[in-house]
Amino acid sequence: MINPSASGWIDKYFSRLNYTLPATLSTHEFYKLVRDTGFVYGHVWVVNYLEKEESKGWTAEETTKAALLNTLYGLYRKYTMDDNPAVFIEKAVLFYEQMTPEGYGFLKRVLPTSPRSHELEGIIDQRVRTNDNIISRNFSHILTNALLFMDILAFRQYLIGAKIPDNYLRKLEETVVSLASLALNKKTQKTAYDDLLIKLFESSVRYTKLNRVTADNLEKLELGYFESELERYYLLDIAGMAMWSDGAIEKNEIDFLYKLAAQLHIKDEYVIESITFFDAFIKKNRNNIPYFKYSNPVKHFYDHASQNVIRLIKRNKNRLGKELSNNGELMVLLSQSTLRNLDTNEKKKVKKQLLEICKTIPSLTIFLLPGGSLLLPLLIKFIPQLLPSVFNENLDNE
């Protein structure tokens, strides 16, 4: 049996792979095969071309690793007409080195004689573990791992031109997050947690400055930048996935998908296929996807994460109170916030200085992780209990 958590698993994987897929498969057929595994949606329930016994007992993370490798190899085979695993592995490592110019920390520790397959194992491990943050631990991998398909799209660009186009990943991320936001805004009945869901998407990005994600309509997204079918199918499915955050889809949301499809030059038949497949996928896998186990999954994330953060704040209240008391400007702003609404610049100062304080307390560095800033209001809420009574006089006089 293959163990994606053990060294040497990629070599073993290729020795067991039963890859009978014709290299001449169309882009639509290739995408459907990948989508059928759940990889596009961030929840992989099956890995193509492996016997079920090989993946028996795998964790969600291990299954995702194998799916990422499998999809990269399938794409390589499709675009190069070559099925040599050794050449593929070399290409994949070179691709990731270009994709992340600053490199991966573990590569510096790998022995010069280490096989390239071991390097690729480490890279894939870090790509999947990048999502092991405050969001995925307390919520679900489904949002963050859905963005792993961008690796596949970038690898396609690399195989075609031997390089990833400048700003390609940033542009792709901005478009994905903007589409998710636009899709959610089409709901007729919005909740306070819809905004949080968008922030969960935003907290998963790796290449984008969030202040760049400002599009408020489809026309501003410059969707013509994405020319391949693979890119366009993925963008449509991501929008559909965001709309399904409440487990249902409304008529105006369906209309939005058709409008998006027209902008992407996708036939109406694919919109029907996308909606139908995702509906079937959710019905089949709902009980195995943490995201859909709760009547309000986003609320569940926030409530569950809140409990952990509150516990950490209480454990570190003495040191946190001392650090707060030593920051004069922050104390003034916090005190004024009990009497008036702070302006945008003042709010930014408060956030920045609170994060600086969290850097000095190891247990509170969770606020610095992807998604951690979403929970910063919990810390602000507790501040009056952490400071001397003099600070609280403003509260008493309100």
Give the separation between CA 150 and CA 225, rounded to whole angstroms. 15
Every domain of the chain with CATH number 1.10.3680 lies at 163-295
Q: Is the predicted pLDDT of residue 225 greater than 70, yes or no? A: yes
pLDDT at 206 over 70: no
The most confident of the ranges 231-235, 281-285, 308-312 is 231-235
Confidence band of 261 (pLDDT split at 50, 70, 90)? very high
Q: Mean pLDDT, to the nearest integer, of 27-53?
A: 84
DSSP state of 223: G
More confident position, 209 or 189: 189
Cβ(41)–Cβ(238) below 8 Å:
no
pLDDT score recorded for residue 368: 67
Give the architecture-level CATH label for domain 163-295: Orthogonal Bundle (1.10)
Residue 24 CA to residue 294 CA, distance in Å, equals 42
Highest mean pLDDT pick, 47-56, 151-160, 351-360: 151-160
Q: Exposed, middle or buried: residue 338 (CB in 10 Å: 0-12, 13-18, 19+)?
A: middle
Query: Rounded to an integer, what distance in angstroms lies between the CA atom of residue 255 and that of residue 261?
Result: 10
Place of tokens 């390239």: 116
What is the rounded CA–CA span in Å between residue 19 and residue 33?
A: 13
CB 205 within 8 A of CB 173: yes
Q: What length does the chain have?
A: 398
Q: Is the pLDDT of residue 383 over 80?
A: no
Cβ atoms 134, 305 nearer than 8 A: yes
Asked if 366 and 134 touch (Cβ cutoff 8 Å), the reply is yes
Residue 398 has pLDDT above 50, yes or no: no
Distance CA 259, CA 336 (A): 47
Alpha-carbon distance of 80 to 82, in angstroms, equals 5
Q: Which two tokens stand for residue 163?
A: 């390089």
- Tokens 């199918």 label which residue? 233
197 band by pLDDT with thresholds 50, 70 and 90? low
257 vs 177, residue with greater confidence? 257
Alpha-helical (H) ranges within 17-133 are 27-36, 60-80, 85-99, 116-129
**pLDDT for res 93:** 94
Taking a C-beta distance cutoff of 8 angstroms, is the pair 236, 274 a contact?
yes
Give 194's DSSP letter: H
Q: Is 153 exposed, middle or buried (0-12, 13-18, 19+ CB in 10 A)?
A: buried
Report the distance separating Cα 302 and Cα 193, nearest Å. 9
Residue type (1 letter), 261: A
Highest mean pLDDT, choosing among 15-19, 331-335, 368-372: 331-335
Query: According to the model, what pLDDT value does residue 135 have?
Result: 42
Q: Is the pLDDT reported for residue 92 higher than 80? A: yes
What does the pLDDT read at residue 136?
44
Spatial separation of the C-alpha atoms in residues 384 and 328, rounded to whole Å: 15
User: φ and ψ at 296, to 5 degrees?
Assistant: -135, 90
Average pLDDT over residues 174-186: 79
Could you give the percent of the chain with pLDDT greater than 90? 22
| Nearest in space to 342 (alpha carbons), one of 380, 373, 371, 389 | 380
Band the pLDDT of 153: cuts 50, 70, 90.
very high
Mean pLDDT of 78-88: 91
What tokens does 93 get?
């490592």
- Measured in whole angstroms, how far is the alpha carbon of residue 346 from the centre of its chain? 30
- Gap between the Cα atoms of 365 and 362, Å rounded: 5
Q: Which one, of 285, 294, 208, lies nearest residue 36 by Cα?
A: 285
Query: DSSP letter at 339?
Result: T
Question: How many Cα atoms sit within 13 Å of 307 on the Cβ side?
Answer: 7
The yes-or-no verdict on residue 49 having pLDDT over 60 is yes
Structure token digits, residue 318: 């003495």
What does the pLDDT look like over 95-152, one tens digit per residue?
Answer: 998 887 655 554 544 555 678 999 999 999 888 864 444 444 444 334 456 778 999 9
Are 175 and 260 in contact by the 8 Å Cβ rule? The answer is no
pLDDT higher than threshold 60 for residue 291 = no
Mean pLDDT value of segment 375-388:
72
Under a CB-based contact definition with an 8 Å cutoff, are residues 145 and 46 in contact?
no
Mean pLDDT of the chain: 76
Q: Is the pLDDT of residue 162 over 70?
A: yes
* Residue 297 in this model has a pLDDT that exceeds 70: no
- The CA R_g of the chain, rounded to the nearest whole Å, is 23
177 versus 13: the higher-pLDDT residue is 13
Average pLDDT for 188-202:
59
Least confident of 5-9, 200-204, 250-254: 200-204
